[in-house]
Amino acid sequence: MSKLLFNRTLSEHTTGVDISTIEGLSASTILFKQKDGCICIEITEDTTSKKLNSSYYIGTDWLNNKTAVYVAPKLNDKAQQTDYLKMLFSCLRHSDVASFTNDLYEIKFEEPFIEIKQKQDLITPLLVIQFLQILKSIVKKGLKKSYYKIEQNLNSKIKGKALVAQTLKQNIIKNKSTKTYCQYNEFGLNCIENRILKKTLVFVQRYLALFPEYSKLVSSVINYCYPAFQNVDENVDLRTLKNITHNSFFKEYKKAIYISKLILKRFGYNIKEIEALNKELVKVPPFWIDMPKLFELYVLGLLKDKYFNGIQFQIQGTYGQPDFVLVSENHKMIIDTKYKRKYQQEKYQVEDIRQLSGYARDRKVLSKLGYKTEQEQDRVIDCLIIYPDQTGSERLNANLKEIPISGFTSFYKMPIKLPIINDYNSQKTE
């Protein structure tokens, strides 16, 4: 059984926690998806002490084969905690945002599971909400139809291919000479892809029935999606997942099938695993969630709410990609998110200013803003940094230039209030 490192919650971006008394730990680093510079947890060591530092990733993982660590969303104060699920739900209302969630989390199914409190299981509800929002976009577009195989014991007729072995076993030996076991193709909604989605939807419903706080968030989505699968069978041989080919016209299916496999794997492909869940303790695979990425997607949703197609996400410049480029009737601006609380004070990081200044001089980026000629590109471009701050608004300010960053020309910042868990009872689901 796992041993969690602390009897209190360790929050993201915590530094200098003394772990000298814990045996078997040495200087090491856990990287997010093994990417250089993407540090989830780091242990530093000198001659007198060992220190643990967490970064902007939340989740749980093994420090060694006996000791695990859990990192929770940053506490804004003693009573409030960031509601990362509502952030995800908000941004995924825009169906095209789902394609940008590939690097949002990492799950290590190959490693031993870690026992944590049920309320600390951040990854399962995240997968559930992501699946349901993608499923909603599929249902809105219309379920795909395709050919699928049917095996049936027919009376006095043959359809498709006669299955000799099954016919002998099921009919001839039992003296049912008028029947033939056949396999044939049929065209309709009951194809393998839809059956996998239906099976996952049943898993999701069982899971949400145990946790009303999550169910409230997505009940309207389930009510919207379920009737579309009325004529789809939930029984499916999961080995057939390997043979699925994806149609570019139904591009949402590829992502939905991928999330389905993660959810089914999370519960060992056994729905009884859900029914047997202990509400206090659960076992989960080690996982990490990238909070700066989630904040970036959350802001993308807010920008799309306000500017629709006027916002472009992560366009490729000559060197690097700005988070957002805004091209509307009233604004032409480069926008970047910084998941840093430094901006809550009268502070800034010079590296961030340099980064946006580089984008503002990038000819490819300027071209996306509509500045094509050298004369048009020889101008000072407005730059905006959006950061989390609970004293800010939940929506974008009407005036994007309301708060200038002193000391720089055409540089501005804007606080965004993040949803908090206490808001479940006071806010209605969209």
pLDDT digits over 223-259, tens only? 999 999 999 998 887 776 666 777 777 888 989 999 9
Nearest to 211 by CA among 285, 279, 268, 128: 279
Alpha helices in 119-168 (DSSP H): 123-141, 164-167
| Helical pair 84-91 and 291-307, crossing angle rounded to 10 deg | 40
For 305-362, write each residue's pLDDT tens digit. 999 889 999 999 998 999 999 998 888 999 999 998 888 887 788 999 999 999 999 9
Domain boundary among 77, 97, 126: 77
Is the same domain home to 299 and 388?
yes
**Residue carrying the six token digits 């409190």:** 117
Residue-level pLDDT at 78:
53
Number of structural domains (the chain) is 3
In a domain, 15, yes or no: yes
Q: What is the rounded CA–CA span in Å between residue 276 and residue 253?
A: 30
Residue-level pLDDT at 44:
92
Number of neighbours of residue 243 by Cβ within 10 angstroms: 7
Question: What are residue 225's phi and psi, to 5 degrees?
Answer: -85, -40
> What are the DSSP calls for 222-270, one per residue?
HHHHGGGGTT------GGGGGG----GGGTHHHHHHHHHHHHHHHTTT-
Domain boundary among 133, 154, 188: 188
**E strand segments, 238-394:** 281-284, 287-290, 311-313, 324-327, 332-337, 382-393
Q: Are 78 and 285 spatial neighbours (Cβ–Cβ below 8 Å)?
A: no
Q: Are 97 and 301 spatial neighbours (Cβ–Cβ below 8 Å)?
A: yes
Is the same domain home to 416 and 295?
yes
Beta bridge partners of 18: 51
Residue-level pLDDT at 280:
78
Q: Are 179 and 214 spatial neighbours (Cβ–Cβ below 8 Å)?
A: no
What's 64's DSSP letter? S
Is the same domain home to 377 and 296?
yes
Residue-level pLDDT at 425:
42
pTM for the complete prediction? 0.83
230 token code pair: 């009325």
Q: Are strands 332-337 and 382-393 parallel, antiparallel or unpaired?
A: parallel
Q: State which residues form the domain around 393.
A: 291-420
Which residue numbers in the chain have pLDDT < 50? Answer: 1, 7-8, 423-430
In a domain, 52, yes or no: yes
Domain boundary among 188, 217, 244: 188
In a domain, 394, yes or no: yes
In a domain, 368, yes or no: yes
315 three-class SS: coil
